Amino acid sequence: MEDKNITCKECGRDFVFSARDQQFYAEKGFQNEPQRCRDCRQARKAPGAGGAGGNRPSFEAVCAECGTNTTVPFKPRGDRPVYCRTCYTAHAPAASI
């Protein structure tokens, strides 16, 4: 494998997809080459950046059990109870081993 020059689709700068990185991608079974440079990939993953690891939409709700205000990652429809994290954990079935 040889180093490849790729243009970042986010910032337009060229970056090197090294032979070492290519080997890593192959070991992980990744089919596609990276489309963004390392800086742009890290920026997309950062909390609050709007990327995958970033700013998920949240909706305000009132816990059906304790009445506290909470936020949830889905829009409550009103036909099912919504719980805060503490009450949800208490209601969730125990994971079997």
pLDDT at 55: 59
CA–CA gap between residue 28 and residue 85 (Å, rounded): 34
> What's residue 65's pLDDT?
93
* pLDDT reported for residue 91: 79
DSSP 10: T
DSSP 13: -
How far is Cα 78 from Cα 7, in angstroms, rounded to an integer? 47
Res. 95: pLDDT tops 70 = no
Domain boundaries, the chain: 4-45, 59-91
pTM: predicted TM-score of the whole model, two decimal places: 0.47
Phi, psi at 94, each rounded to 5°:
-65, 140
